[in-house]
Amino acid sequence: MTDYETILTEARGRVGWITLNRPEALNALNTQVMKDVVAAASAFDADDAIGAIVVTGSERAFAAGADIKEMESKTGGEMLMADHFGGWAQFAAVRTPVIAAVSGYALGGGCELAMMCDIILAADTAKFGQPEINLGVIPGMGGSQRLIRAVGYYKAAELILTGRMMDASEAERAGLVSRVVPAADLLAEAEKMAETIAAKSLPSLYAAKAVLDAAMETPMAEGLRLERHVFAALFDTADQKEGMAAFREKRSPDFENR
């Protein structure tokens, strides 16, 4: 595996692991982290032997936000010219399903990185928030848009305007988190979930992710039209024939693309 400066990566079975590794800064997301995560996720995405990706941090922090020290002295012009967080769009565009396994702080850009993933699995120690307002700024990696879609306008507005953190059980009730597990079980549970996903047919995973993304971005009627077309297109895959034949024959499917 390639060596990265700020993350650790590993392929275990059909699951690609990305572990944020800046313990001295609670995994704050500087430009190098963005480059490393994007490169690692893109490499896993290009590899048909990988059917799911897990992004995780440390016990203490998934990520405590964008790197404040890196940004502090920048001018507005510099932030715009560099499109400081623009590279993250490539991570969000990965076609392989991505699970965020969150323990400890997921704040600011950390919460936003988790929300770029398809599923957020949280340890009972996880804390989510968009504290940018305390720094005199606002969320900059998608939080103002994705948080509203996850938890609704009023909850998102309260979190973004007060900057307060919410714990894992509140995040689960609010719909941000798929499931809360004991901290000691987080990685094992993430692995189990990722293996379950990675065992499915890749074309259907890509298709599912494409229509899920569309639901976030398009009006309902357009999303429903896209869903019907993508659903129909999957009937040209061998895996659809195998999946449905296996159902009829009461056996497990043996997908070609996994």
Catalytic residues: 66, 109, 112, 132
Number of residues that bind ligand CAA (CB under 6 A): 22
Q: In whole angstroms, how close is the CB of 25 to ligand CAA at the nearest point? A: 4
Report how far apart, in Å, the C-alpha atoms of 52 and of each of 11, 39, 108, 111, 136 are.
Answer: 10, 16, 25, 20, 37
Among 15, 40, 99, 107, binds ligand CAA (CB under 6 A): 107
Q: Which of 57, 65, 97, 243 binds ligand CAA (CB under 6 A)?
A: 65
Under the criterion CB under 6 A, does residue 66 sit at the interface with ligand CAA? yes
Residue 67 found at the interface with ligand CAA (CB under 6 A) = yes
Q: Which is nearer to ligand CAA, 162 or 252 (CB)?
A: 162
The residues that bridge with 9 in the sheet, in sequence order, are: 18
Q: Is 68 in the site for ligand CAA (CB under 6 A)?
A: yes
90 within 8 A of 43, measured Cβ to Cβ: no
Q: How far is the CB of 74 from ligand CAA (least distance, A)?
A: 12
Site membership for ligand CAA, residue 26 (CB under 6 A)? yes
Closer Cβ to ligand CAA, 147 or 193, answer by number: 147
C-beta closer to ligand CAA: residue 67 or 189: 67
Determine phi and psi for 13, rounding to 5 degrees: 60, -130
- Paired tokens of 193: 């979930």
Site string for ligand CAA, 156-195 (x = CB under 6 A): ----------------------------------------
Minimum CB separation of residue 250 from ligand CAA in Å reads 50
CA 39 – CA 45 distance, rounded (Å): 10
- Segment 109 to 148, residues that bind ligand CAA, using CB under 6 A: 109, 112, 131-132, 135, 139-141, 143
Question: At its nearest, how many Å lie between ligand CAA and the CB of residue 137?
Answer: 6
What's the rounded Cα separation, in Å, for the pair 67 and 72?
9
Pick 44 or 62: Cβ nearer ligand CAA:
62
Q: Measuring CA to CA, which residue among 79, 84, 77, 91 is closest to residue 36?
A: 91
Distances (CA, A) of 240 to 27, 233, 248: 41, 10, 12
Helix (H) or strand (E) holding 30: none
Does the footprint of ligand CAA cover residue 64 (CB under 6 A)?
yes
| CB 246 within 8 Å of CB 256 | no
Cα gap 31→220, rounded to integer Å = 35
Q: Phi first, then psi: what are they for 49, rounded to 5°?
A: -80, -5
| DSSP E strands, 91-175 | 98-102, 105-107, 119-123, 127-129, 165-167
The window from 20-28, 32-40, 170-178, 190-198 that contacts ligand CAA (CB under 6 A) reads 20-28
Q: Which residues are near ligand CAA by CB under 6 A?
A: 25-26, 28, 64-69, 85, 105, 107-109, 112, 131-132, 135, 139-141, 143
